[in-house]
């Protein structure tokens, strides 16, 4: 394996030296042209983006600033650069920047300007995906939760309240970036922007109002004249000069191309793996498949690919969408902690290097296509009158290797692979042949650090009778307001002794129908059970026998959220929490508790309000050693970390 690695590097260096003179001349021509026009900013044609007068092939990776810490940013950006990326893509997260209406936050993990400036310092470009809706498996798809309470609001449609707040947000963010001179037209790194996100998925639900909204959003950003092109991904009917772009795993085959011949072919999301939701097994996309897809896209006139994600990171705090785990895209080229995930990281670095050797042919050559056999083909680019030529030999057979003949030479192609020939003669890279190193990561319990740990416990009281304020259970999203994931529901029922079942085997059953996401149920202060939904089916029905007594019986339900929704139409009308409750098995028949009882509500847990998870907050409650374990218990331990030898 080591000798093959050295052999590949040697070929890459040889081809690089052979083509260096040609590249230098082309770059000199670009520089001279730029000096003549003195034009800053980004334009485009049917071949590529043209940045400050210079054509570029763009290898981009998604890195989201709130999903890592500022201390991690320089290392992540540097590793992306070493991985031969020249662009970083990020969403802008409206709900972290404006958690309360009119109150803005750009500190710490939310320091967008600092993040972009660090990228610029490394010599990389930046693409911003502004939203307002981003999805991103992020809480509420990036939309602030307070928007739900704006009177008469409907999200992502031709709705005046939504457009008013969206325009205020868009102008705020773009104004800050412009003031910091971060757009390419100002000498900064931002070369491309995206407004909205995958709107085709909801377009039919909003009909004509959706079409008007998309045109309005496009006009809004274009009217600001920031000197960069704007895109809409998965939006075939992108209005005006907005470029339509592709999201998916195989855009070289699934993307019909840009809507106009004078627009470049851009791939805004090449999914490097799959995000995790609770209950799902680990999934991973093979490095060979990603490399094949990238090579195919560039061989078919693609000029920009973005890996979603290149570094996934962590959904800190309560930022995950419903049922999405805190570990985000851990099998990306850079894992959750920012470490290289090989062979994916190394294999993609090599494909970027190989494509860069083809740059002159791809950007200035004429495309050619030829079938070489039933499952084989070649796509190549030549510049007439010169020796500039780059070829992509493809074997689409998923099981068998194939031997092909091209320009008088024979080439062996592994199954489902593409060989890249920057001079149409020499194979410098094959998508199925991995010469990058392999690495893995293990989590091993430290006996030294775990030995002798003793936990103190603090158990919360279960509220039995909150002041009743409604005749039906309150809506859980509204009660929590994105400040907590928990809310108590309490009601009481008076039972006559002669109404209780006296026959053997007959039990009283408590039934609670919930729209999600989970519930913990108590009767008369005693734990009865719990139930939860899933990412695919949020709603569920809790149904268990309960022990009732003559007189007053108190029912307490702790409603639990796993995050707000992040996709789909009419998000402002999504609901969660208990929607109906009844008692079965009484002699008098089923007793409905939904509309005949008063319900009391209390958002949040006592431990949250007292911040018992902090050093100061932990002093506000009484901790017990080796106490009785209850369902609502906080645990505390003092831990001194001892680092092992490396």
Task: Tell me, yes or no, if 269 is annotated catalytic.
Answer: yes
- Strand 540-546 relative to strand 551-560: parallel, antiparallel, unpaired? unpaired
- Residue 541: its pLDDT value, please? 98
- Residue 38: its pLDDT value, please? 55
- Strand 633-636 relative to strand 456-459: parallel, antiparallel, unpaired? antiparallel
Task: Tell me, yes or no, if 121 is annotated catalytic.
Answer: no
- Residue 422: its pLDDT value, please? 98
Beta-bridge mates of residue 369: 379
Residue 213 CA to residue 456 CA, distance in Å, equals: 55
Point out the least confidently predicted range of 11-15, 115-119, 410-414: 11-15
| pLDDT exceeds 80 at position 552 | yes
Q: How confident is the model at residue 468 (pLDDT cuts 50, 70, 90)?
A: confident
Q: How confident is the model at residue 121 (pLDDT cuts 50, 70, 90)?
A: very high
DSSP-assigned states of every residue in 584-620: E--TT--EE-SSSS-EEEEES-HHHHHTTTSTTGGGG
Percent of residues, the chain, with pLDDT higher than 90: 84
Alpha helices (runs of H) in 85-159, residue ranges in sequence order: 94-97, 112-121
Q: What are the pLDDT digits (tens) for 146-205? A: 999 999 999 999 999 999 999 999 999 999 999 999 999 999 999 999 999 999 999 999
| pLDDT exceeds 90 at position 249 | yes
Which domains are delineated in the chain?
A: 40-364 (3.20.20.80), 461-604 (2.60.120.260)
Exposed / middle / buried, residue 594 (Cβ in 10 Å: 0-12, 13-18, 19+): middle
- Residue 627: its pLDDT value, please? 76
Average pLDDT along the chain:
92
Instruction: Compute φ and ψ for 620, nearest 5 degrees.
Output: -85, -5
Q: Is the pTM of this model over 0.85?
A: yes
- Residue 644: its pLDDT value, please? 53
- Residue 641: its pLDDT value, please? 67
Catalytic residue among 26, 269, 356, 475: 269
Catalytic residue among 26, 56, 137, 198: 198
Strand ranges, E, within 467-626: 468-470, 486-495, 508-514, 518-523, 526-532, 540-546, 551-560, 578-584, 591-592, 599-603, 624-625
């Amino acid at each position: 394996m080591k000798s093959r690695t050295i052999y590949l590097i040697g070929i890459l260096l040889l081809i690089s030296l052979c083509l260096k003179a040609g590249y230098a001349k082309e770059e000199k021509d670009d520089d001279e042209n730029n000096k003549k026009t003195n034009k800053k900013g980004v334009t485009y044609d049917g071949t590529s983006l043209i940045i400050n007068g210079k054509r570029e092939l763009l290898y981009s990776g998604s890195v989201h600033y709130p999903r890592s810490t500022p201390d991690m940013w320089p290392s992540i950006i540097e590793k992306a650069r070493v991985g031969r990326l020249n662009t970083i893509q990020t969403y802008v997260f409206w709900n972290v920047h404006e958690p309360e209406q009119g109150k803005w936050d750009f500190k710490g993990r939310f320091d967008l300007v600092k993040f972009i400036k660090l990228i610029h310092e490394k010599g990389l470009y930046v693409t911003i995906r502004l939203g307002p809706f981003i999805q991103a498996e992020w809480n509420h798809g990036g939309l602030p939760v307070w928007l739900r309470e704006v009177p008469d609001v409907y999200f992502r449609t031709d709705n005046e309240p939504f457009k008013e707040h969206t325009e205020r947000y868009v102008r705020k963010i773009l104004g800050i970036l412009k003031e910091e001179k971060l757009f390419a037209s100002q000498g900064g790194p931002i070369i491309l922007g995206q407004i909205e996100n995958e709107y085709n998925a909801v377009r039919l639900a909003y009909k004509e109002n959706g079409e008007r909204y998309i045109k309005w959003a496009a006009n809004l950003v274009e009217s600001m004249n920031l000197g960069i092109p704007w895109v809409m991904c998965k939006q075939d009917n992108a209005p005006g000069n907005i470029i339509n772009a592709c999201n998916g795993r195989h855009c070289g085959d699934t993307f019909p191309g840009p809507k106009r011949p004078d627009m470049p072919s851009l791939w805004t999301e090449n999914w490097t793996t799959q995000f995790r939701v609770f209950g799902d097994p680990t999934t991973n996309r093979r490095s060979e498949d990603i490399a094949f897809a990238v090579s195919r896209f560039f061989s078919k006139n693609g000029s920009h690919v973005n890996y979603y994600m290149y570094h996934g990171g962590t959904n800190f705090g309560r930022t995950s969408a419903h049922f999405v785990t805190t570990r985000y895209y851990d099998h990306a080229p850079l894992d959750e902690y920012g470490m290289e995930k090989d062979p994916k990281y190394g294999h993609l670095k090599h494909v970027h290097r190989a494509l860069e050797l083809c740059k002159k042919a791809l950007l200035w050559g004429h495309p050619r296509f030829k079938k070489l056999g039933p499952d084989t083909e070649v796509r190549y680019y030549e510049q007439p009158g010169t020796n500039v030529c780059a070829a992509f030999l493809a074997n689409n057979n998923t099981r068998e290797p194939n031997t092909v003949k091209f320009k008088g030479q024979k080439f062996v192609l592994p199954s489902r692979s593409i060989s890249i020939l920057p001079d149409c003669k020499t194979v410098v890279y094959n998508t199925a042949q991995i010469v990058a190193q392999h690495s893995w990561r293990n989590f091993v319990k430290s006996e030294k650090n775990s030995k002798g740990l003793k936990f103190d416990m603090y158990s919360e009281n279960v509220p039995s009778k909150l002041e009743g304020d409604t005749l039906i259970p309150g809506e859980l999203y509204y009660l929590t307001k994105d400040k907590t994931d928990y809310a108590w529901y309490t009601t009481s029922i008076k039972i006559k002794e002669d109404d209780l079942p006296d026959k053997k085997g007959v039990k009283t059953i408590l039934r609670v129908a919930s729209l999600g996401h989970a519930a913990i149920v108590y009767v008369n202060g005693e734990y009865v059970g719990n139930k939860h939904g899933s990412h695919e089916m949020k709603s569920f029905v809790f149904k268990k026998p309960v022990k009732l007594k003559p007189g007053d019986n108190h029912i307490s339900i702790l409603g639990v959220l796993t995050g707000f929704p992040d996709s789909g139409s009419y998000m402002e009308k999504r609901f969660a929490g208990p929607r109906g409750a009844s008692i079965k098995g009484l002699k008098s028949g089923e007793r409905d508790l939904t509309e005949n009882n008063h319900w009391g509500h209390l958002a949040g847990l006592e431990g949250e309000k007292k911040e018992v998870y902090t050093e100061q907050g932990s002093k506000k409650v009484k901790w017990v050693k080796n106490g009785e374990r209850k369902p609502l218990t906080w645990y505390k331990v003092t831990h001194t970390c001892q680092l092992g030898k490396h």
